[in-house]
Amino acid sequence: RSIIQNPSHFRSHLRQAACFRSLHRYSEAARSAMVAQCLYVLAEGTRLETTDLIQLYWQAMTQEALREEVSFSALYTPFEKEDKTDKIKEANKTFAEKHPDYVQHIFTDPHGIHLLPERAESHPDQQYLLTLGFRNKAIGKTVEMSVTRKLPVFPGMPTCLRT
């Protein structure tokens, strides 16, 4: 109501940002804090530390919004080449149990030639199935289609480009 009555008052926008923050609506909190900072500067706010603090606030809210918006999760499953089909089914089931927030679309890369990230401890020459789970089904399907799509092969193309 206070923003409607006086839309150029920066403190009202800061209060709105605080409300959004307490509701865990971080992207809206960041937007309100950005508006507050712009209004403060436009109103020729003379206290430099105030504008810096407002800027730090909206940057923190932006970071929090990004942290909350993770749209996928990953699981690496060791496998042997001979039982890939069963391992894919098992990996999908395990993923659903471990990551219930990311089951709108589950996709295990059928190629199974993944190595663990650098920071993870792994055995030499061990291959892993990579299972991805998505909060958004459309995003998951798009990723799956781009990974499994067959690319055209042109005569004379070097072998390294075919794979």
Residues 61 and 88 in one domain: no
pLDDT of residue 76: 82
- pLDDT computed for residue 153 by the predictor: 60
Residues 88 and 110 in one domain: yes
- The domain total for the chain is 2
> Which residue, 52, 68, 84, sits at the end of a domain?
68
- Look at residue 138 and tell me if it is in a domain: yes
153, part of any domain: no
**How far apart, in whole angstroms, are the C-alpha atoms of residue 63 and residue 16?**
18
Question: Is residue 134 within 8 Å of 143, Cβ to Cβ?
Answer: yes
Per-residue pLDDT of the chain (163 residues; tens, 9 = 90+): 889 998 888 889 999 999 999 998 888 888 898 888 888 888 876 677 787 888 888 888 887 876 766 677 888 887 776 667 788 888 899 989 998 888 999 988 877 666 666 555 656 667 778 888 888 888 888 888 877 776 566 666 554 444 4
Same domain, 90 and 110: yes
Residue 137 lies in a domain: yes
- Residue 160 has a pLDDT of 47
129 and 111 part of one domain = yes
Same domain for 92 and 122, yes or no, is yes
**Distance, CA of 93 to CA of 110 (rounded, Å):** 15
Which position has the token pair 């923190």? 60
- State the pTM of this model: 0.50
Domain match, 79 and 133 both: yes
Domain boundary among 68, 85, 114: 68
Asked if 49 and 99 sit in the same domain, the reply is no
pLDDT of 31: 87
- What pLDDT is attached to residue 72? 79
- Range of 143's domain? 72-148
Q: What is the pLDDT of residue 112?
A: 62
Q: Are residues 80 and 137 in the same domain?
A: yes
Q: Which of 23, 45, 68 is the last residue of a domain?
A: 68
| Residue 4 maps to a domain | no
Judge whether 17 lies within some domain. Answer: yes
For residue 20, which of 55, 51, 61, 50 has the smallest C-alpha distance?
Answer: 61
Assigned domain for 2 exists: no
pLDDT at position 158, please? 52
> Same domain, yes or no, for 51 and 81?
no
